[in-house]
Structure 1
């Protein structure tokens, strides 16, 4: 976890995400890439030299740099290498490009927490970010004076096409020194026996030598409720879920989990692209 990307609009929610990223950066000696997107109608502009012909672009660029200066002066960023970046792409495109250009390990984003993923601080673009991001996306919804993750719920249907996401989850758990709670939620419409569910989980993690985990089968009315209720029972600090890039946030676990999970979850949520 050496390079952390934090998209920002300089809102309170974005600052909450930046504070968490700062704590992670200090713990892991990471660099932070603080990215602000200016979504201006620049389709006709091909070169940086032409920005001078767009007074609106220059005005918002100067305003962004002023806000950057104020942010960079915060005490919680002391002794951290922070790269200030302003881009004129659409948000999800800019984030994707930045991840590739700088080999980003983790994206940390803030959320208003009121209306689900589609209404996060960068609006509906957040769904596109999660859908296109090849690296884990950590969504922060509250202030965290001390961001410590001891119990990490990884919820899945534990099918083979999700195995890559578990590898990512293990890497994150090792970095956070956290226990993973492998969670399979049983519902009336998609019921499997406990033996079958446990067997599927054991097959899923076979070959991985990570040992700090538990296996849980939890029954509930829906997968969303099961994840939230189980996370409450174990006092989880973080919820991890997989996303299908081809289908977007509204189709977790092959369509069985909606964005309501993140909408109602009070805990941080991290997504891993399948």
Structure 2
């Protein structure tokens, strides 16, 4: 891990994310990028109003840059390799574009936990970044980021669509010499027989060659609740989940499991974006029989 990005709005949530990023940088030697985005509205009432907005945004950008300079000059930031930047635009789009341009390895963000109607109308920048970022996203919910990560939950269906993403999970576990607790959550609504799930996992192991791991089938009322309960049972320090790239309409109509877990998890959660699901993966859920 060579580069870490921390989008900041100077809130307490961003401060928690900054400290988590510095903790990771201390272990990896990574350069930490701090990014402030001046949000640009998608409308203007008049040309004069737009001109005022441009002037106001320039003022805000200048103030943010000076604030970032002051921040990194003081401990604990002063002892690390850091870069600062200010961009203008849609917050989540600017964050994802910056991450792509700078070849960022990990984005660390504070999660405000917006839910309900407020989320529908204004959205959550963290959740949108999770679904569109070109690299893994680590969501921080509180100030207590563990200095040592010993137990990592990797919750998945272990279908072939996650094979390509798994090396990033293993690399992160190796960084801390942590044990991976891989779990398939079984629910009444999305039931799989133990025999079928074990076959899927054997195929996963054969293709991805994991190490220092355990495998579990965990029954619960829903996948979200199962992940959270399992993480609590093993005293997990981190949850890792894969999530698909999604449209804004999809985010509103059918939030992802990773998104729901992120909103409720007391421990940090790292998400890795998968490509839009191919139709073959949906078909693979139809045939649950396995005879061999």
Taking structure 2 as the reference length, the TM-score comes to 0.81
* Matching residue of 2:174: 174
Is residue 42–residue 88 contact of structure 1 (8 Å, CA) maintained in 2? no
Distance in 2 (CA, whole Å) between partners of 1:206 and 1:4 is 31
Q: From the superposition, tell whether residues 90 and 112 of structure 1 become closer, same or farther in structure 2 (CA, over 3 Å).
A: same
Deviation at residue 247 of structure 1 after TM alignment: 5.2
Deviation at residue 192 of structure 1 after TM alignment: 1.8
* Matching residue of 1:224: 224
Deviation at residue 58 of structure 1 after TM alignment: 2.5
- Please give the per-residue CA displacement for 1:52-96, whole angstroms capped at 9, x wherever unaligned: 994312320222023213321331213211111000121122112
What root-mean-square deviation, in Å, do the aligned CA atoms of Structure 1 and Structure 2 show? 2.7
2:144 matches 1:144: yes
Deviation at residue 149 of structure 1 after TM alignment: 1.2
* Matching residue of 1:47: none
Q: From the superposition, tell whether residues 259 and 54 of structure 1 become closer, same or farther in structure 2 (CA, over 3 Å).
A: closer
Q: From the superposition, tell whether residues 93 and 28 of structure 1 become closer, same or farther in structure 2 (CA, over 3 Å).
A: same
Question: After TM superposition, where is structure 1 displaced by more than 4 Å over at least 4 residues in a row?
Answer: 41-44, 247-251
Distance in 1 (CA, whole Å) between partners of 2:145 and 2:196 is 41
Is residue 249–residue 259 contact of structure 1 (8 Å, CA) maintained in 2? no
- Please give the per-residue CA displacement for 1:190-219, whole angstroms capped at 9, x wherever unaligned: 222222212211211213333110000100
Q: From the superposition, tell whether residues 79 and 272 of structure 1 become closer, same or farther in structure 2 (CA, over 3 Å).
A: same
Residue 79 of structure 2 aligns to a residue whose secondary structure is coil
Structure having the higher Rg? 2
Taking structure 1 as the reference length, the TM-score comes to 0.87
Is residue 4–residue 105 contact of structure 2 (8 Å, CA) maintained in 1? yes
Structure 1 residue ranges without an equivalent (≥5): 45-50
Aligned length: 263
Residue 84 of structure 1 aligns to a residue whose secondary structure is strand
Q: From the superposition, tell whether residues 41 and 207 of structure 1 become closer, same or farther in structure 2 (CA, over 3 Å).
A: closer
Is residue 110–residue 126 contact of structure 2 (8 Å, CA) maintained in 1? no
Q: From the superposition, tell whether residues 78 and 255 of structure 1 become closer, same or farther in structure 2 (CA, over 3 Å).
A: closer
Is residue 23–residue 147 contact of structure 1 (8 Å, CA) maintained in 2? yes
Distance in 1 (CA, whole Å) between partners of 2:75 and 2:193 is 53
* Matching residue of 1:108: 108
Q: From the superposition, tell whether residues 212 and 264 of structure 1 become closer, same or farther in structure 2 (CA, over 3 Å).
A: same
Note the 1:254-273 alignment, pairs <5 A: 257=257, 259-273=259-273
